Amino acid sequence: MDNKSKSLYNKKTAFYESIRTGNIDMAKANLIPLCGEEDTRYNKDDLVNLKYHFVIAVSMMARFCFEGGMPSEEVCAMEDKYIEMADASDNMEEIQELHTKAMEEFCNCMYEMRFRGINSVQVINAIKFINSHIDERITLTVVAEHLGITMSHLSHIFKNATGEKISKYILIRKLDASLVMLKNTKLSVSEISYRLKFTSQSYFTKTFKKILGISPRQYRSGKFTISPDALACIKSPFIEDEFEFEE
């Protein structure tokens, strides 16, 4: 893969990951119009080709949202709605606009699901910052500095609003991102650990297995499954559990 193709691939991955976390600003920043120069041509007819790409894009949005915890009935209903709307259209500009609308609706649904019941604007902004910088070294200090508040205040309001420590939330979101990368990329376990800024590959593997019950390599092989309870710990924004997390 050349640098141009790699850059496009990374941008598309960031786009769908932004939708999964409900980060509409990041999704808009990574939005690429359908049928770009690098995209495969599936049909000689421009309109038919665009519809093919639209179906693929909406299906990817649906897949990432389902993996992010959106109920399957909601995912399928939204996916079907937009595919039917595109199928009925004979206007290419309208289909491009439907692509943007689908992105916005999927994003908004994920945002509402993740932040439902949280009334603190500062906590919501902290969560949005974490989700947007999940591939960086994130600490309580970094988040507090971004928000312009003290670490003790952030720790207090985050715990009150969500019922858990911010360090735990950061780790859970990194593990969630690792599941997507293990399933949808060919990056090695070492590369994933490095990209998500775990302190070491051994810590990543140890934590992954402790919380999810299997190793990253076992998960990628598809021969092992994560228990529903362990998966709920990752997919639900906030849930009480018995795990201890490193600060």
Taken as a whole, the chain contains a residue count of: 247
User: Tokens 């990374």 correspond to what residue?
Assistant: 10
Q: Where are the domains of the chain?
A: 3-115, 121-235
Question: Would you call 89 helix, strand, or coil by DSSP?
Answer: coil
Tell me the pLDDT tens digit for each residue of 207-224: 999 999 999 999 999 888
Handedness of CA 171, 143, 185, 202 (dihedral sign): negative
* pLDDT attached to residue 245: 40
Q: First-to-last CA distance in the chain?
A: 38
* pLDDT attached to residue 4: 62
Which residues of the chain are modeled with pLDDT < 70? 1-8, 232-233, 235-247
* pLDDT attached to residue 5: 61
Whether 210 and 229 have beta carbons less than 8 Å apart is answered as no
| Angle between the N-to-C axes of helices 201-212 and 166-184, in degrees from 0 to 180, rounded to the nearest 10 | 100
Q: pTM (2 decimals)?
A: 0.64
- What percent of the residues of the chain are helix, what percent strand, and what percent coil, each to the nearest 5? 70, 0, 30
Residue 203's CB is within 10 A of a number of other CB atoms, namely: 12
Handedness of CA 192, 221, 68, 7 (dihedral sign): positive
109: closest CA among 135, 77, 84?
77
Q: Which residues contact 83 (CB under 8 A, 6 or more apart)?
A: 54, 55, 58
Query: Which CATH architecture group holds 121-235?
Result: Orthogonal Bundle (1.10)
